[in-house]
Each structure stands twice: as C-alpha cells, then as structure tokens.
C-alpha cells in the first residue's frame, strides 16, 4: 500500500503524490465522477427500440428464429441478409445517441426503421408512445412528418430552387402556406448560420453550406427527433469539425433528440452522450464514450478504440477526485490552519457557503494571521489569494496538462456555477492516460504481472468511486 505519515522512507513516494489534498465536501455527489454522463435519468424516452431484427431476403422469419437461437449473420446467409440483429435501446429526450460501426454493420438499416422507412422483421420501435409496427399507413405518414426528420450524407437539394425554398420544401409538401413555411425556413437557416444566403441557389454554396441547408431543412420541420445518417461524413475535416460544434450548440439550445450515425469513432466520441457500437448487425456495446474507452466490451471494441486520442475524449469530470480538504471562507485562521494541518497540506482551496471557489489559502499565512490577531481574527478573507484558474468539468484531458503543470495544488474543477466539484492531482491525470486494456495480461498468455506497468496508486483514486 502507500506510505503512511509515519513512514520513515519518503524517497519512494512520487513527488506528485505529496501535492496538497483537500478535506471532504460532504454535499452533492460529483457529477460524472464515474465517467457516466450526468444526463438526468428521469427524462422521458423519445425513441425505444425493443428486440428489433431486420432481415432482407427470402425467408426472413426463419432467419430471425435462428438468430434468436444464437446464429450469426453468416449462419443465416442462405435465408437472407441479417442487417440488424436484436437491437434494443432507449434514447432519452434531448440525448445525442450515436450509432457507430464499420460499413455494412447495419447502421442505416437500423435508422431507417426508426422513422418507419423500413418495417422490422421482428421487434418494436416506439416513438414516444406510438408503436410504429401497429400504426396504420396514414398515421405513420403523419408521425414521420411531425415527429422525425432525417439528414443524409448526400443531400439532395433542388438545383433550381433557392436555399430558402429548399429548406422550406418538406413544409411545402405538408401543405403549409407560403408565408408561414418561408418564415420557419428562414429561422432554421439563421440557426445553422446561413442567414443571408436564403436567395442563393445551391450551386453557389460550398459542400459544407449545402449540408447546412440539409440540416436547416430538418430543423424547419421542427420535429422532436432528428435522425442523421453519416450527415457529416462527406465533409472536409475542418468543416466537419465546425458542423459538429454547431450541432452541439443547436442541441443545447433546441434540446432535440438526435440519433447520429457515423463510422468515425472520434466523431462518435465527440458528439455522443451515449454510443452504440455495431458489428455485423449486432450492437456489441452501448455506453458513454468514457465507458467504451475505459471498459470495452470485447476485443472488437478494444481494437476500435485503441488509437483514439484519450486526452481528447476523457474530460476533467472523468478523472477528478473528491477534494479532501477545503477551507470555508467564513471560518477564521484557526479553522484554516487546523484543516490544513490535519490534511497535511500546505495550501488549500477556499469555498464560500455555496461551495463557490473563492481562492487559495496558505498555511504560513493562516499561522501568521493567527499569531498577529490571536482569537480576534474571525475571517481569512485578507489572506485568500485569488487568481486560481479552475477548469470546467467538460475540459478535455488534453487541456489539463498546462494548468496541472502550473499549479502547485491539484487542479480545481468547477461546475457552471463556479462551485468546486472536484480536484485533479497530477498523478491522476497521468494515470488516466494509460489505456486499461494494456494493464491486463492476455487471457491466453502466461501470468505477466511481473512485466505489468507501474501498479495503480490507490491513494489518488480512492476518492473517485466513493
Ligand atoms: N435493401 C437491402 N436489401 C438487401 N440487403 C440490404 C439492403 N439494405 C442493406 N442491406 C445489407 O444489410 C447490411 C447492412 O447494411 P447497412 O444498414 O446499409 O449498413 P451500414 O449503414 O452500417 O453501412 C449490408 O450487408 C447490406 O448489404
Ligand atoms: Mg449506411
């Protein structure tokens, strides 16, 4: 285990582990401390996929029967193509749910069943309370118009119509009056950053802008659910990145439920609140980016994620630990110095009653204040240093190295109300860089623990799963 305070040999301790730590803040649990998304769980389900199969071919029902008995795609080949096999998941309202997999894994087939374009061979797709399998054709058309819209990779814009009329097209088909549909389309164009281009023709736009028109068209329809099938895959990397950011912004303001398909892992990890990984028709893992990275369900997923830049995907929230010492702003120097002495730290973060981070206090200053004012000093405000640069819970690891290097204290992590929600000791940051799969010996290999990388420093992670 670790050296206790009575240890005589401190030379084996990594220097970073002596970084000051803070005493427990007993209030709320840490959002995202387990690497899970802090989406509230009580959100209603927008789309529910229940045991869905889709087999193209001559004998689809027989194929489903065999698949249910454990057969794979290849086993039922003579009966048909098993495009989707036993898909089950719920997408919450306001969630971005990404379906990721290699080409041919069944993504497009799956998403086409979500808007009723394909009928499942078996299983159910529910939009809110409506089961797409049981509604009649007319109800289905109405549902598709009012509840789901779709953005494709190659967007078919009508070449002789203006951008505005292209964006208004689905509304026109619905029979909406010209003035009203143009107003809605214009709002949607403004949202995607194409305000001012409404009178242009598609040929006057770049590829990225055309894709924005596609997005505007889907937004103009004002449905709760957006389905996006490789919507950004044909774009240049930089434009693609811009579109991703814009989608995240739009999602923040509009709160749409988005089901986004991609074969690109980095895109999936960047956009998805949760990700479903598909392989040969089956969903092999569903989880947050962090869960998939740190605990891949099988070798396939592990290989998929092997070359992901973990520092771009993992965020402060996933590595921060509980602050083990904080000093209340309202306390006096006696409280401050006792707190630091007990935690064996030379400095600590100071928070007010609302846990808002107010600065740092040093033990020497607290002792000096105590000496000069005795018991008269009731406040430490005069010795609190501000100039702390906290990071937000969403900050990617890649952006934490500079603050960590500059700060003698563990990096402070604050929420959107500037409350201290966690800290990141430098050693924790370094540990987080190690892919978990590399630490485990292969099942077929002999015991390789001797060669294993440095053992986990349990001291720095014990607060994380409290
Ligand atoms: N209409 C169809 N008829 C027959 N097979 C199809 C049809 N659509 C897709 N497939 C097959 O289903 C499998 C999954 O395809 P798809 O859903 O398009 O995958 P992805 O979108 O992940 O590339 C593939 O083997 C594909 O050839
Ligand atoms: Mg596809």
* Ligand 1 and 149: CB distance under 6 A: no
Separation CA 108–CA 128 (nearest Å): 21
**What was the pLDDT predicted at 40?**
55
Buried-exposed string 35-68: b where 16+ CB fall within 10 A, e elsewhere: bbbebeeeeebbbbbbebbbbebeebeebbebbe
Tokens of 11: 């030379």
Residue 377's pLDDT is 66
Residue nearest to atom 7 of ligand 1 (CA): 56
DSSP 418: -
Residue 74 CB–ligand 1 contact under 6 Å? no
The whole-angstrom separation of Cα 276 and Cα 49 is 12
Placement of tokens 């209603």 in the chain: 44
Residue 339 Cβ inside 6 Å of ligand 1? The answer reads no
Determine the distance separating the centroid of ligand 2 and the alpha carbon of 261, expressed in angstroms.
8
Mean pLDDT, range 410-438, rounded to an integer = 81
Position 337 pLDDT exceeds 70: yes
pLDDT at residue 391 above 90? yes
Mean pLDDT of the chain: 82
Is pLDDT above 80 for 135? yes
Residue with the nearest Cα to atom 14 of ligand 1?
106
Residue 104 Cα to ligand 2 midpoint, Å, equals 7
- Nearest Cα neighbor of 17 from 345, 399, 319 is 345
Rounded distance between C-alpha atoms, residue 208 and residue 367, angstroms: 61
Beta bridge partners of 98: 260, 275
Calculate how far, in angstroms, residue 104's C-alpha sits from the geometric centre of ligand 1: 6
Q: Is 283 in the pocket of ligand 1 (CB under 6 A)?
A: no
Distance between CA 456 and CA 432 in Å, rounded?
11
Q: What is the pLDDT of residue 436?
A: 54
Higher confidence at residue 378 or residue 113? 113
Question: pTM higher than 0.85, yes or no?
Answer: no
Minimum CA distance residue for ligand 1 atom 26: 104
pLDDT tens digits, 243-284: 888 899 888 889 899 999 998 888 898 899 999 999 999 999
DSSP secondary structure letter of residue 122: E
> For atom 24 of ligand 1, which residue has the closest CA?
104
Q: How confident is the model at residue 9 (pLDDT cuts 50, 70, 90)?
A: very low
Which tops the pLDDT comparison, 207 or 37? Answer: 207
Q: Alpha helix locations (H) across 8-132?
A: 60-68, 107-114
Nearest 10 degrees: Cα torsion 216, 221, 227, 230:
-30
Q: Closest ligand 1 atom, CA of 57?
A: 4
Question: Which tens digit of pLDDT belongs to each residue from 296-315?
Answer: 899 888 887 877 777 777 78
The answer to whether residues 397 and 316 touch, using CB atoms and an 8 Å cutoff, is yes
Is any ligand 1 atom within 6 A of the Cβ of residue 56? yes
Answer yes or no: are the C-beta atoms of 246 and 228 closer than 8 Å: no
Evaluate: CB of 103 within 6 angstroms of ligand 1. yes
Tell me the pLDDT tens digit for each residue of 11-67: 333 333 333 333 333 333 333 333 334 455 688 999 999 999 999 999 999 999 999
Closest atom, ligand 1, to C-alpha of 54: 12
Substitution site in 59, 99, 109 for ligand 1 pocket (most atoms within 8 Å of beta carbon): 109
pLDDT of amino acid 450:
35
Region label for 196, one of left (φ > 0), alpha (ψ between -120 and 50) or beta (otherwise): left
Element spanning 84, H or E? strand 81-92
One DSSP character per residue, 44-58 reads PEEEEEEEEEEEESS
Domains in the chain and their CATH numbers?
Answer: 15-36+317-431 (3.10.580.10), 45-313 (3.40.50.300)
| Ligand 1 centroid – CA 84 distance (Å) | 9
For residue 410, the 8-state DSSP code is P
Which one has a higher pLDDT value, 398 or 15? Answer: 398
Cβ of 262 below 6 Å from ligand 1 = no
pLDDT digits (tens, 9 = 90+) for 355-365: 999 999 999 99
């Amino acid at each position: 285990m670790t050296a206790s305070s009575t240890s005589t040999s401190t030379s084996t301790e990594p220097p970073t582990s002596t970084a000051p730590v803070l005493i427990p803040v007993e209030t709320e649990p840490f959002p995202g401390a387990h690497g899970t998304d802090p989406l509230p769980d009580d959100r209603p389900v927008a789309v529910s996929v229940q045991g869905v199969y889709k087999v193209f071919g001559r004998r689809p029902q027989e194929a489903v029967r065999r698949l249910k008995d454990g057969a794979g795609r290849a086993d039922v080949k003579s009966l048909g193509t098993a495009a989707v096999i036993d898909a089950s998941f719920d997408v919450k309202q306001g969630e971005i749910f990404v379906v990721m997999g290699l080409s041919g894994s069944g993504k497009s087939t799956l998403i086409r069943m979500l808007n009723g374009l394909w009928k499942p061979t078996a299983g159910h797709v529910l939009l809110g309370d409506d089961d797409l399998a049981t509604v009649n054709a007319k109800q289905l058309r109405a549902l598709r118009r009012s509840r789901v819209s779709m953005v494709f990779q190659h967007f078919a814009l009508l070449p002789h119509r203006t951008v505005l009329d292209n964006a208004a097209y689905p509304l026109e088909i619905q029979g909406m009056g010209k003035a009203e549909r143009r107003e809605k389309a214009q709002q949607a164009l403004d949202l995607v950053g194409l305000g001012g281009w409404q009178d242009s023709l598609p040929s006057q736009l770049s590829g990225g802008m055309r894709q924005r028109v596609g997005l505007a068209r889907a937004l103009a329809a004002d449905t709760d659910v957006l389905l996006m099938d490789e919507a950004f895959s044909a774009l240049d990397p930089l434009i693609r990145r811009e579109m991703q950011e814009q989608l995240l912004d739009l999602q923040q303001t509009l709160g749409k439920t988005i089901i986004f398909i991609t074969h690109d892992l980095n895109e999936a990890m960047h956009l998805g609140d949760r990700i479903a990984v598909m392989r040969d028709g089956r969903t092999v893992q569903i989880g947050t980016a962090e869960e998939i990275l740190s605990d891949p369900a099988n070798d396939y997923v592990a290989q998929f994620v092997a070359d992901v830049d973990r520092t771009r995907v993992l965020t402060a929230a996933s590595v921060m630990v509980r602050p083990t010492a904080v000093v209340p702003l309202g306390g006096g120097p006696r409280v401050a110095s006792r707190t630091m002495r007990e935690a064996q730290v030379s400095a600590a973060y100071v928070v007010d009653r609302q846990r808002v981070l107010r600065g740092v206090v040093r033990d020497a200053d607290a002792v000096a204040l105590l000496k000069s004012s005795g018991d008269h000093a009731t406040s430490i405000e005069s010795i609190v240093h501000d100039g702390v640069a906290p990071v937000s819970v969403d900050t990617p690891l890649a952006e934490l190295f500079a603050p960590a290097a500059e700060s003698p204290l563990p990096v402070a992590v604050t929420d959107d109300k500037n409350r201290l929600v966690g800290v990141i000791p430098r050693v924790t940051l370094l540990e987080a860089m190690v892919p978990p799969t590399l630490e485990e010996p292969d099942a077929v290999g002999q015991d390789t623990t001797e060669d294993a990388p440095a053992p986990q420093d349990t001291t720095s992670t014990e607060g994380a799963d409290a």
